């Protein structure tokens, strides 16, 4: 695979995630779109590391940190979504509008 193909893959993942996050009303589907966007960013970061500076270990650290941040974000997002659903039976963003401060 070439550098350009990997970046096209990353851009495709990010684009599909952006469309998913902006076009859905379900909180879980929005979170899935955000995860696809973060996945695209991770693929692009890994491509830059692999093709531009494979000897440097800093790229690996950035990719691992991004994956850990993605896992923590999903865990927190699903916990908040579950708590909102249990408290108010709300699973769509339109119904959660009364939660804003």
Convert the pLDDT of each residue in 42-100 to its tens digit. Answer: 999 899 989 988 888 887 888 888 889 889 988 998 898 888 888 888 777 767 676 66
How far, CA to CA in Å, does 32 sit from each of 23, 35, 56, 59, 78?
A: 12, 5, 31, 25, 11
Range of the domain at 78: 3-90
Assigned domain for 21 exists: yes
Tokens matching residue 62: 């950035």
Q: Has residue 41 been placed in a domain?
A: yes
- Can you give the pLDDT at residue 57? 83
> What CATH code is carried by the domain that includes residue 47?
1.10.287.3510
Instruction: Dig out the tokens for 20 from the structure.
Output: 């998913």
In a domain, 30, yes or no: yes
pLDDT for residue 16: 97
């Amino acid at each position: 695979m070439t550098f350009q193909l990997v970046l096209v893959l990353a851009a495709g993942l990010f684009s599909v995630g952006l469309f998913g996050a902006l076009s859905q009303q379900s909180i879980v589907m929005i979170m899935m779109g955000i995860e696809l966007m973060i996945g695209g960013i991770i693929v692009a970061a890994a491509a830059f590391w692999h093709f531009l500076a494979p000897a440097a270990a800093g790229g690996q650290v950035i990719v691992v940190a991004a994956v850990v941040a993605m896992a923590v974000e999903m865990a927190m997002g699903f916990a908040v979504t579950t708590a909102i659903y249990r408290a108010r039976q709300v699973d769509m963003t339109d119904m959660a509008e009364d939660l804003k401060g």
